[in-house]
Amino acid sequence: MSRIYMDYAATTPVHPEVVEAILPYFSEHFGNPSALHAIGQEAREAVETARDSLARLIGAEMDEIVFTSGGTEADNNALVGTVRAAGDRPCHIITTAIEHHAVLETCEDLEKQGTRVTVLPVDGQGLVDPDDVRRALTPATVLISVMHANNEIGTIQPLAEIAAIAREAGVLFHTDAVQTVGRLPVNVNDLGVDLLSLSGHKLYGPKGIGALYIRKGTKVAPLLHGGGQEQHRRAGTENVPGIMGLGVAAEIAIRDMAADAETQTALRDRFIRGILDSIDHTTLNGHPVKRLPNNVNIGVAYVEGEAILLNLDQLGICASSGSACSSGSLEASHVMLATGCPPELARGSLRFTIGKWTTGEEVDTVLQVLPDIVAKLRAMSPINNPDRR
């Protein structure tokens, strides 16, 4: 059975050019980058080449890039590292209700250790109000953390406006840009951020590799100790194949991003119109314009999203009901609830995320089968059948 993959927000396939580039670093160029001999220096050169590529992708300097194991570690390092670097002073962090769990759960842990956290609300389309950020500031605020674009509903936040507020207050500003780096133009100076998290497997690179951008002069204590790697900011022997793969993925993004975004935006809008026109009692979740080019998140009333997903999967169609990190949970999405969506509708939300190899024919196939699946499931549940209310 051929499969249609529409879960690119969860992970992307590794680009064939990335696979080809990294294979020699498992065998021929396998050295430890800290070694002084030739094989080690080959590995070191690969790491620094990748660092340069990634820096150019986000408009940073090479020495502002710290390689990590992924976006979760980068988020943890940004939050925990900022608090640790503040020493004994009281600390306060401002974040939003729709952040990834890597930020929200880290904030919860920091709260247990004495850090005060303010979690800001969002509006019905998932946007945070910059004025709410300003009002939440206190003399103890050390960090504002607002994601660039939401991984579930695709809403893009007004980062530049929030950054201006942070600069005026002398507060560091972090963004989780896992969903935007490689999909949208991201320039750390234009955004005004001091810290930025990204992940390789969201932009056609390998899993297990990511990075934290740390603006020069920003004090962030390391999470890991035991070596001087990454300018003493992240101990541990570098994952050379992973880093090399992230670098090649960054080069591909520099080359292809604009064309990919144009194609995906057209498919996205066609997909959204097709669902809303063919299935009653459906709504678009997230902002209609300020959204990721590949994100289609639809609320389907009177049916459970998981049931739709299982039926789609039987037809070889891969989608999700929200964050991949929450898969298997029947709880309503915290993102959807934060937008004011009722729990029963939140549990009926579907996320289709398209990517580099999604075709119009695949979109048409989903649009053809989805209405019948929804109708069948609604008919099976008289309580949830809108025609029997």
Q: Is 182 left (phi over 0), alpha (psi -120 to 50) or beta?
A: left
325 is catalytic: yes
State the catalytic residue, choosing from 107, 318, 325, 341: 325
Buried b / exposed e across 120-158, counting CB within 10 Å, b at 16+?
bebeebbbbebeebbebbeeebbbbbbbbbbbbbbbbbe
Taking each helix axis from N to C terminus, what angle separates 71-85 and 101-112, rounded to the nearest 10 degrees?
Answer: 30
Number of Cβ within a 10 Å radius of residue 253: 25
d(CA 103, CA 181): 18
Q: Which residues are catalytic?
A: 325
